[in-house]
């Protein structure tokens, strides 16, 4: 009788644990921008959502179908009943005509993938100097941030930045401070007065040891005159990912399987200026080795190590997080880190830590 009661108790606990689930509910699934002018630049819409489940909701990744669409979202866990948002920005520059773009939301909700859409019509802009709003001395450009977007590891990807010589003398632009995985081709090499040209940036992921988001700064040099200032700075943004769509059935069967039993870690209450260490256990339930390729940590108060990790099939390891409250004010904190792996089903996984600081 006691064994039966214990078994029943364990079953009830198991069912209760399984019922703990986040539920993402959007107020709208699609947005129509209507007719927008190309010269007016980027347009933005906010998709609001509510966690209608009984477990904290974490949006791990939001991916747009096109590089012209940029999503940003709530990185912190959304408690049950609370709201979050996904902001979607569309860049109409160079894209006259009708458009429909999809944005896929990945989370720990019952619907792990949710698709939002935006659509509208871009009215062509008039030609003129306003086509090149970014001023770099006598050289004008269409934008200052070159979006390489997602780059499959092992491949190259190129993006074009249109430029124009607005002076009445020839101009020879060059670009400096590029890392070895970035190159640029300038055409024509010398711009005649009022002539338009292109900076063609090429990202070679084979030469980049980093995974995930990569941001680089380069400087435009005109006629050999070096001015390393904000005015002449360009930012090149990339995101190195792995393409799992080409895996064979055998490769999928032998693929690593990431398991982190505890993804929400409470570090408790600390006095201001104190430190505390937290640990996340990392299990590989698959056959091939699990590669934790990068741990993305944008929190100055948290130090995470190791930066990379290899776990053989059937084995376990740890991700260690060192919290330093030295410059933190009194209050409650909740932060997250993102783990990028070679598990096809968990290539990006968010871990959450919370703590309280007291004086």
Chain centroid to Cα 49, Å, comes to: 19
Answer positive or negative: Cα dihedral of 286, 290, 296, 302: positive
Q: How far apart are CA 101 and CA 113, in angstroms?
A: 16
Q: Please say whether the beta carbons of 340 and 348 come within 8 A.
A: yes
Nearest to 294 by CA among 185, 210, 178, 189: 210
Nearest to 161 by CA among 137, 178, 190, 185: 185
With tokens 């053989």, the residue in question is: 312
More confident residue, 6 or 47: 47
Residue 18's pLDDT is what?
A: 47
What are the sequence ranges of the domains in the chain? Answer: 25-123, 129-241, 249-358
Q: Band of the pLDDT at 37, cuts 50, 70, 90?
A: confident
CATH fold group of domain 129-241: Immunoglobulin-like (2.60.40)
More confident residue, 19 or 358: 358
Average per-residue pLDDT for the chain:
88
249-358 has the same fold as 25-123: yes
More confident residue, 209 or 8: 209
Task: Report whether pLDDT(12) > 70.
Answer: no
pLDDT tens-digit readout, 210-239: 888 899 999 999 999 888 899 999 999 998
Q: How far apart are CA 78 and CA 84, in angstroms?
A: 7
Task: Kindly report the pTM of this predicted structure.
Answer: 0.62
More confident residue, 169 or 4: 169
Residue 8's pLDDT is what?
A: 47
More confident residue, 99 or 127: 99
Q: What is the mean pLDDT of residues 141-147?
A: 89
Residue 130's pLDDT is what?
A: 60
**Phi, psi for 66 (deg, rounded to 5):** -145, 150
CATH architecture observed for domain 249-358:
Sandwich (2.60)
Task: Report whether pLDDT(9) > 50.
Answer: no
Q: Band of the pLDDT at 17, cuts 50, 70, 90?
A: very low
Residue 127's pLDDT is what?
A: 54
Q: What is the mean pLDDT of residues 130-150?
A: 87
Nearest to 95 by CA among 57, 119, 128, 121: 121
With tokens 């009194």, the residue in question is: 330
Q: How far apart are CA 278 and CA 140, in angstroms?
A: 50
Least confident interval from 48-62, 113-127, 254-268: 113-127
CATH architecture observed for domain 25-123:
Sandwich (2.60)
β partners of residue 241? 152
Burial 202-232 (b: 16+ CB within 10 A, else e): ebbbeebeebbebebebbbbbeeeeeeeeeb
**Phi, psi for 343 (deg, rounded to 5):** -80, 115
Q: How far apart are CA 339 and CA 350, in angstroms?
A: 6
pLDDT tens-digit readout, 82-98: 999 999 999 887 777 78
Q: How far apart are CA 103 and CA 23, in angstroms?
A: 18
């Amino acid at each position: 009788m006691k064994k039966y009661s214990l078994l029943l108790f364990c079953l009830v606990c198991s069912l209760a644990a399984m019922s703990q689930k986040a539920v993402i509910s959007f107020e709208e699934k699609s947005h129509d921008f209507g007719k927008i002018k190309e010269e007016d630049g980027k347009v933005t819409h906010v998709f609001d959502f509510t966690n209608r489940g009984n477990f904290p909701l974490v949006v791990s990744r939001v991916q747009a179908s096109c590089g012209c669409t940029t999503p940003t979202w709530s990185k912190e866990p959304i408690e049950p009943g609370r709201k979050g948002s996904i902001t979607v920005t569309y860049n109409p520059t160079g894209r006259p005509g009708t458009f429909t773009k999809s944005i896929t939301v990945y989370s720990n909700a019952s619907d792990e993938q949710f698709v939002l859409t935006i659509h509208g019509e871009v009215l062509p802009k008039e030609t003129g100097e306003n086509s090149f709003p970014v001023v770099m001395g006598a050289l004008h450009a269409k934008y200052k941030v070159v979006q390489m977007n997602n780059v499959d590891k092992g491949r190259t990807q190129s993006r074009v930045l249109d430029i124009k010589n607005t002076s009445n003398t020839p101009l020879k632009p060059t670009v400096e401070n590029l890392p070895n995985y970035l190159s640029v081709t300038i055409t024509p090499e010398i711009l005649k007065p009022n002539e338009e040209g292109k900076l063609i940036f090429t990202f070679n992921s084979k030469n980049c040891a980093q995974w995930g988001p990569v941001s680089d700064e380069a400087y435009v040099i005109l006629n050999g005159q070096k001015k390393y200032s904000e005015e002449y700075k360009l930012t090149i943004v990339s995101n190195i990912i792995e393409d799992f769509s080409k895996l064979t059935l055998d490769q999928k069967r032998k693929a690593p399987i990431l398991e982190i039993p505890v993804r929400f870690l409470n570090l408790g209450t600390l006095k201001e200026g104190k430190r505390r260490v937290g640990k996340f256990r990392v299990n590989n339930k698959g056959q091939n080795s699990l590669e934790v390729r990068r741990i993305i940590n944008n929190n100055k108060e948290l130090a995470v190590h190791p930066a990379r990790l290899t776990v053989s099939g059937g084995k376990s390891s740890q991700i260690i997080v060192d919290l330093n409250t030295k410059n933190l004010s009194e209050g409650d904190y909740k932060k997250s880190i993102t783990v990028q792996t070679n598990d096809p089903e968990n290539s990006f996984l968010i871990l959450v830590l919370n703590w309280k600081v007291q004086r």
